[in-house]
């Protein structure tokens, strides 16, 4: 107690403020959160999905973009309500993405295909803008550089859209343009052809460099 000379009375001590300490993270929860993000990034890499598409891909909702395993090949199905032609449309997927999907046990094929485990129980699924930022932060933290500005030296690290670009670059080496156009759901073949223009230039460069190196290799007689 403190003595107040003006009133002649003692006044109570002021309560001390307690320093806030963050709660100790649950190791099991942290592991589940990390595993869900790793799986999501792998799925983006294999599928070529746009970020917004991936957040709306479901196993079992007929009113959303969903996985269709009923046919001869695994597909994605767009419901009539989301299509300009007002008809259900099937979209092909690549074999490696199909294998990825089939790794999910049958009993767990419900709800979102890519559910992200929240860090707090009261949180729901994050908005796609937040997901985009987290993926960009992961790219920066991992030091995955995709472009350096030659003038300013500014570095661009991997983002969600770079995973989609990687998908296009990989499959441009394997399939013809109209097939890649359908895999990537481009509206204009010109967009698809950009992947082939880059691939063709790189492929030509590889041939030229290989021919140059072969021509300049020392012969056995010259070496001896």
Min mean pLDDT across 96-105, 121-130, 159-168, 206-215 is at: 206-215
What are the tens digits of pLDDT across the range 172-189? 888 888 999 999 888 888
- Looking at per-residue confidence, does 120 or 144 come out higher? 144
What is residue 6's predicted lDDT score, i.e. its pLDDT?
58
Q: Which two tokens stand for residue 73?
A: 């090949």
**CA dihedral sign of residues 201, 206, 211, 212:** positive
What is residue 201's predicted lDDT score, i.e. its pLDDT?
72
What are the tens digits of pLDDT across the range 43-55? 999 999 999 999 9
Specify burial of residue 105 (Cβ count, 10 A radius: 0-12, 13-18, 19+): exposed
What is residue 41's predicted lDDT score, i.e. its pLDDT?
97
What is residue 11's predicted lDDT score, i.e. its pLDDT?
60
Torsion of CA 123, 158, 152, 193, to 10 degrees: -120
- Choose the most confident range, by mean pLDDT, from 16-25, 54-63, 192-201: 54-63
Q: Which two tokens stand for residue 128?
A: 């796609």
Chain position carrying tokens 């007689």: 221
Q: Is the pLDDT of residue 199 over 80?
A: no
Comparing CA positions, the residue from 174, 61, 143, 169 lying closest to residue 76 is: 61
Min mean pLDDT across 37-46, 109-118, 134-143, 146-155 is at: 146-155
Q: Are 103 and 42 in contact (CB under 8 A)?
A: no
Report the percentage of the chain scoring pLDDT > 70: 87
Q: Which two tokens stand for residue 219?
A: 């012969």
Residues 6 or more apart in contact with residue 184 via CB below 8 angstroms? 48, 164, 167, 168, 192
Q: Are 57 and 64 in contact (CB under 8 A)?
A: yes
DSSP-derived secondary structure for 31-73: HHHHHHHHHHHHHHHHH---HHHHHTEESS-TTSEEEE-SSSS
> What distance lies between CA 211 and its chain's CA centroid?
38
Mean pLDDT of 30-56: 95
Comparing CA positions, the residue from 198, 195, 203 lying closest to residue 48 is: 195
What are the tens digits of pLDDT across the range 140-174? 999 999 888 888 888 999 999 999 999 998 998 88
Listed by start position, the domains of the chain span 26-117, 157-215
Chain position carrying tokens 């090949």: 73
Q: Is the pLDDT of residue 69 over 80?
A: yes
């Amino acid at each position: 107690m403190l003595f107040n000379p003006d009133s002649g009375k003692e006044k109570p001590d002021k309560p001390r403020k307690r320093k806030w300490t963050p709660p100790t993270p649950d190791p099991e929860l942290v592991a589940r959160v990390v595993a869900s993000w790793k799986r999501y990034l792998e799925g983006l890499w294999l599928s070529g999905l746009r970020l917004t598409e991936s957040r709306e891909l479901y196993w079992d909702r007929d009113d959303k973009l969903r996985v269709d395993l009923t046919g001869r090949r695994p597909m994605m199905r767009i419901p009539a309500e989301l299509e300009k032609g007002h008809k259900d449309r099937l979209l092909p997927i690549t074999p490696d993405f199909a294998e990825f999907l089939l790794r999910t046990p049958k009993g767990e094929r419900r709800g979102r295909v890519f559910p992200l485990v929240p860090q707090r129980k009261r949180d729901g699924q994050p908005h796609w803008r937040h997901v985009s930022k987290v993926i960009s932060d992961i790219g920066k933290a991992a030091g995955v550089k995709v472009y350096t500005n030659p003038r300013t030296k500014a570095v661009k690290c991997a983002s969600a859209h770079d995973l989609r670009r990687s998908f296009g670059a990989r499959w441009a080496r394997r399939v013809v343009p109209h097939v890649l156009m359908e895999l990537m759901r481009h509206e204009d073949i010109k967009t698809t052809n950009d992947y082939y223009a880059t691939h063709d230039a790189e492929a030509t460069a590889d041939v030229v460099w290989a021919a140059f190196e072969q021509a300049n290799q020392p012969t056995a007689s010259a070496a001896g």
